[in-house]
Amino acid sequence: MRKLFTILALSLILTGCASSGLIPAGKISLGEGHGMMTQGSWSDVTYAERRYTRAVQVLSRDGPLLNQIILVRGLDAGKGLLRPADRTQPVPIFRADQTGREQVELVVETLSELGYRQVRFAQLRPASFGPDKAIRFDLTARTEDGLNLSGIAQAARVKGELYLVIFIAPSEHYFPTLKAEVEAMMNSAH
């Protein structure tokens, strides 16, 4: 029982670190010197997944189960989007020498680690992140209980740091509703 109190107390302390709140339409930071424009308002739901590392911010319009944008704001080499649960369960990490395809693989593996099933990428295509080159690709996945999901993601490596924008939502209604808005956001990323 003492352990339970300790964990709850720790949770309360950690609550202070959790980012939260409404993000109005306009410019949103993607890390030092980088940003992108949002057309509508979003909620910061980063706190919904405790394993995210500091470089990650998660936005949602209707709740993380219905749509979410995972922003990775300058991930250093050797770090992942997630913290490992323990020493025997390492997480996918970004390496300085990763190829473009391995960056795509990092997105797929991280989503799998988050519990998504049958995560697949498709249609890799060129994109830009300000003056730098980026890779954009489509995603499909399923939730553990079988809901079909669709997504779009963009990866860019700038000065040795990784910048990701990953949008994922149920294929029915939620993905097509926000697809164009999210693509416009990705197009504005720099």
Partner 1 sequence: MIRTVSALALAFCLWGSALAAPAADTVMRSANLRPASGSPEAGLWQASDEAETYARQSADLDSDPVLGAYVRNLICKLAPEYCGELRILVMTRPVLNATAAPNGYVEVYSGLMLRSRTESELAYVLGHEISHFARNHALAQWQRNKTRGNVTLAIQVGVSVVAIAAMASVANSGDFYAPNKIDYIGDAAQTLSDLAYIHGLATYFAYSREDESEADRLGQIRAHGVGYDPWAAPAIWQSVGAEVRASEYPEVRKSLARATIFDTHPLTEDRIEALKRAAGSTPHQTAEESRAEEQAYRAIIRPHLAVWLRDDLRRRDLGQSLHLISRLEAVGEDLGLLAYYRGEAYRQRHRDGDLSSALAAYRLSITHADAPAEAWRELGEAESRAGNAPAAIRALETYLTRAPGSEDRWLIESELETLKASHS
Min dist. Cβ of residue 56 to partner 1 (A): 17
Q: Residues near 136 by Cβ (< 8 Å), separated by ≥ 6? A: 124, 125, 126, 127, 152, 153, 154, 186
CB-based burial, 87-96: b 16+ in 10 Å, e otherwise:
eeeebbbbee
C-beta closer to partner 1: residue 71 or 119 = 119
Min dist. Cβ of residue 155 to partner 1 (A): 11
Written as six digits, the tokens of 172 are 């029915």
**Rounded distance between C-alpha atoms, residue 52 and residue 47, angstroms:** 9
What separation in angstroms does the CA of 15 have from each of 20, 48, 56, 62?
Answer: 10, 11, 16, 22
What separation in angstroms does the CA of 112 have from each of 56, 124, 141, 143?
Answer: 17, 19, 9, 10
C-beta closer to partner 1: residue 33 or 41 = 41
Min dist. Cβ of residue 28 to partner 1 (A): 18
C-beta closer to partner 1: residue 142 or 179 = 142
Min dist. Cβ of residue 66 to partner 1 (A): 16
Instruction: Provide the 10 A C-beta neighbour count for residue 150.
Output: 18
**Rounded distance between C-alpha atoms, residue 119 and residue 107, angstroms:** 9
C-beta closer to partner 1: residue 11 or 29 = 11
Positions touching partner 1 (CB under 8 A) are 1, 4-5, 7-8, 11-12, 15, 18, 20-21, 47-48, 87-92, 95, 97, 99-101, 104, 109, 112, 117-118, 121-126, 135, 137, 142-146
Min dist. Cβ of residue 44 to partner 1 (A): 9
C-beta closer to partner 1: residue 37 or 66 = 66
